[in-house]
Amino acid sequence: MIVGIDLGTTNSLVAFINGEGKPEIVINERGSRLTPSVVYFKNDQEVLVGELARSQMVLKADRTVSCIKRHMGSDYQVFISQRGYTPVEISALILRKLVQYAREYLGQEIEAAVITVPAYFNDNQRQATFLAGELAGLKVLKLLNEPTAAALAYGIRSEKKENILVLDIGGGTFDITLMEGEKGIYRVIGTGGSTTLGGTDFDNRLAQYILTTFYEMTGVDLTADKVALQQVQVNAERVKVDLSTVNESSVLIPYITMGEAGPLHLNQVVSRAAFHKICTDLFVEIRSLILQTLAKAGVEERWVDVVVLAGGASRMPGFRDMVSEMFGHAEIKTDINPDEVVALGAAIEAGMLAGAVEHIEFYDVTSHTLGIEDNLGEFVPLIPANTSYPVVQSKLFTTVEDDQEEVIIHILQKDDLNTAGSEGLVSLGRFHLEGIHKAKAGEPNIDVTFAIDKNGILNVSALDLDTGTTNQVQITGAVYSGNKESLNRRGRGLTVL
Ligand code: AMP
């Protein structure tokens, strides 16, 4: 059996195609469809995942790990009893648990999976997700972009020509995708969003508000008290969820700390209006990210026929009101549970790969411009952002010095939206091509090829067309973090031919 997995920042889900050819969510041992993406290291032998781990977050904050997705592809490690764990290892523990749930629910072995990733995930982050799947003993057949999965979940119900906007706001990420769909063929024409904006930011705002109000009322600052902070954080999320259905919610945490005159209790009421007020700038940011994505794709609000909402945080009334106001003319799809829509789409993709459901063609696009650095330190693009993949693109380069026998290919990603670094350039890795035939500067023909596979993972190769010498690299987290060598361009630079 091949399953579809939504490996979320806050919650994860696993789904499959049932006997009627329909996608269905696996129900876990607690009768729930969502499994919190939380890991609790009870001791050296025992690791708990999901709801059991989440319930330890308050008292065992130093032994629980949450929101690990935010660190995927980086060299971040979380230390538990002095042992460091990588985001790949933590994610693999979550995946293993999901596979176990699927095996128990279906009574079948799970051999392979389609795992979803944010459209905005770069190569390092995709590679890390892929490795996590493999570490969990899964054959990862495809990394599917989450918004594409959401559109697939709706798409099988529609035959009309439609321009679709997918807004997927989960715990830690906000993904925006523009797609043109007709008769089952979907083409992604633009992506955008943020890898650092999600429901958790709204929780943090509320937590801050609750702490400030407590300080104003009692003069006691709780920010140094780890256990109290965790309690406030958990309550903040609950209040946010409550405020999606009611206008007012309250927080009561008895005996939160000791005051001068004895124990203090935290007792506050939070209104939806107050919540919206403290989150105004987050809504403004969401709106401007949507407008930026439309502008980048050269379309306006009117272009959108259908808005698909995904991700738990899309239930916030403030979010829905903003979407209705921006896209009043469009059909806003809310009939599939926004927590489940991505996993259901992943199951459809898994079903298509297994031949269990009718094939729907779709094309994803790159979210960043990819290229290399030339001898002057300038960025030379090879694959522009918004290019459909799989794709292969080549460009000819040459040497800059006479008798130069080596070049360094320094692979760069230009982040058009979330500018990292001065020009939004991120180093993805570098490799050498040695043994270039000796010639005058500008004579050798060095072909540099960028190939993006169906998972969005980049392979770069360089070939000296005169000698046939070749070298290549697949972009992995290891190349990214392990290669700290400074780029000495003397005798090793290259330029566009
Ligand atoms: P996901 O990553 O898609 O599982 O989304 C998780 C995020 O959605 C978390 O920040 C949750 O607090 C949030 N969420 C879930 N249900 C609701 C709700 N009813 N109202 C507001 N936020 C919600």
Indicate whether 414 pLDDT > 90. no
Closest by CA position to 428, among listed 88, 124, 195, 131: 124
3-state helix, strand, coil in the chain (%, to 5): 30, 35, 35
Angle formed at CA 406 by CA 405 and CA 407, multiple of 5 degrees: 140
Which pLDDT band, with edges at 50, 70 and 90, does 158 fall under? Answer: low
- Tell me which residues are annotated as active site: 6, 69, 146, 168
Atom 16 of ligand 1: nearest residue by CA position: 312
The residue nearest atom 15 of ligand 1, judged by CA position, is 312
Give bridge partners of residue 408 from the DSSP assignment.
Answer: 432
Q: Which atom of ligand 1 is nearest to the CA of 9?
A: 2
CA of residue 430 to ligand 1 center, whole Å:
39
Residue written as tokens 């693999």?
A: 92
Instruction: Give residue for tokens 């499994």.
Output: 35
Say whether pLDDT at 487 is over 50: no
**In the chain, % of residues over pLDDT 90:** 65
Comma-separated ranges of CATH 2.60.34.10 domains in the chain: 369-496
Q: What pLDDT sits at residue 425?
A: 84
- Lowest-confidence region among 80-94, 157-171, 364-378, 421-435: 421-435
Q: Does the Cβ of 156 fall within 6 Å of ligand 1?
A: no
Q: Where are the alpha helices (DSSP H) in 156-279?
A: 199-218, 226-242, 272-278
Task: Report pLDDT digits (tens) over 309-346.
Answer: 998 999 999 999 999 999 999 999 988 999 999 999 99
CA distance 148 to 169: 14
Q: How far is the CA of 86 from the centre of ligand 1 (A)?
A: 25
Residue range 489-494: mean pLDDT, rounded: 72
Class level of CATH domain 199-278:
alpha beta
Residue 219: which residues within 8 A CB-CB, separation 6 or more?
A: none
Nearest to 67 by CA among 255, 220, 207, 201: 201
* pLDDT at res. 276: 97
Nearest CA to ligand 1 atom 22: 313
Which residues on neighbouring strands pair with residue 84, listed in sequence order? 79
Determine the average pLDDT of the residues in 463-488: 61
Ligand 1 atom nearest to CA at 12: 4
User: Is residue 352 scored above 80 in pLDDT?
Assistant: yes
Check residues 183 and 380 and name the one with the higher pLDDT. 380
**Fold classified for 369-496:** Substrate Binding Domain Of DNAk; Chain A, domain 1 (2.60.34)
Coil, helix or strand at residue 268: strand
Read off the pLDDT of each residue in 286-294 and give the average, rounded to a whole number. Answer: 96
Whose CA is closest to atom 7 on ligand 1? 171
DSSP string, 58-118: TTTGGGEE--GGGGTTS---EEETTEEE-HHHHHHHHHHHHHHHHHHHHTS---EEEEEE-
Backbone angles phi, psi at 445, to 5 degrees: -110, 110
Out of 82-96, 174-188, 267-281, 465-479, least confident range:
465-479
Please state the pTM of the whole predicted model. 0.78
| Stretch(es) of the chain classified as CATH 3.30.420.40 | 1-154+336-364
The whole-angstrom separation of Cα 144 and Cα 456 is 9
Among protein residues, the one with the nearest Cα to ligand 1's atom 9 is 171
CATH class of 1-154+336-364: alpha beta
5 CB under 6 A from ligand 1?
A: no
Question: What's the confidence (pLDDT) of residue 284?
Answer: 97
> What average pLDDT does the chain have?
89
For residue 356, is pLDDT > 90?
no
Q: What is the pLDDT of residue 151?
A: 85
How far does residue 11's CA lie from ligand 1's centre (Å)? 9
**Does the structure show a pLDDT above 90 at 4?**
yes
DSSP state of 438: P
Q: Identify the pLDDT of residue 383.
A: 95
- What is the C-alpha to C-alpha distance for residues 6 and 344, in angstroms, rounded to an integer? 9
Domain with CATH 3.90.640.10 in the chain: 199-278
Mention every residue, 6+ apart, whose C-beta is less than 8 A from residue 242.
249
Query: Is the model's pLDDT at 100 over the cut of 50?
Result: yes
User: 190 CB less than 6 Å from ligand 1?
Assistant: no
CA of 30 to the centre of ligand 1 (A): 19
- Ligand 1, atom 20, lies closest to the CA of 241
pLDDT of 455 > 90? The answer is no
DSSP assignment of 5-40: EEE-SSEEEEEEE-TTS-EEEPP-TTS-S-EE--EE
Ligand 1 pocket: which of 5, 7, 10 to mutate (most atoms <8 Å of CB)?
10
The encoded tokens of residue 230 equal 């965790």
Is the distance from the beta carbon of residue 311 to the nearest atom of ligand 1 less than 6 Å? yes
Residues 275 and 297: their CA atoms lie apart, in Å, by 33
Q: Between residues 194 and 275, which one has the greater pLDDT?
A: 275
Check pLDDT > 60 for residue 117.
Answer: yes
Contact 207, 233 (CB under 8 A): yes
E strands, 388-477, in order: 388-389, 391-399, 406-414, 425-434, 446-452, 458-464, 470-474
All residues at 6 or more sequence positions from 261 whose CB lies less than 8 Å from its CB, including other chains = none
Of the residues 241, 246, 247, 275, which should be mutated to test ligand 1's pocket, given the most ligand atoms within 8 Å of the CB? 241
Question: Above pLDDT 70, what percent of the chain?
Answer: 93
CA 304 to ligand 1 centroid distance, Å: 25
Residues forming a β-bridge with 459 = 451, 474
Residue 469's nearest CA partner among 432, 433, 430 is 433
pLDDT tens for each residue of 34-93: 999 999 999 888 999 999 999 998 789 899 999 999 899 999 999 999 999 999 999 999
pLDDT, position 486: 40
Ligand 1 centroid to residue 311 C-alpha, Å: 7
Atom 18, ligand 1: which residue's CA is nearest? 241
Say which residues have a Cβ less than 8 Å from residue 64's Cβ, sequence separation at least 6.
Answer: 38, 39, 40, 41, 53, 54, 56, 57
Q: Which of 153-157, 239-243, 432-436, 446-450 is least confident? A: 153-157
Pocket flag, ligand 1, residue 8 (CB < 6 Å): yes
Task: Decide: 155 in ligand 1 pocket, CB within 6 A.
Answer: no
Q: Which atom of ligand 1 is nearest the CA belonging to 311?
A: 3
Pairing of strands 470-474, 458-464: antiparallel
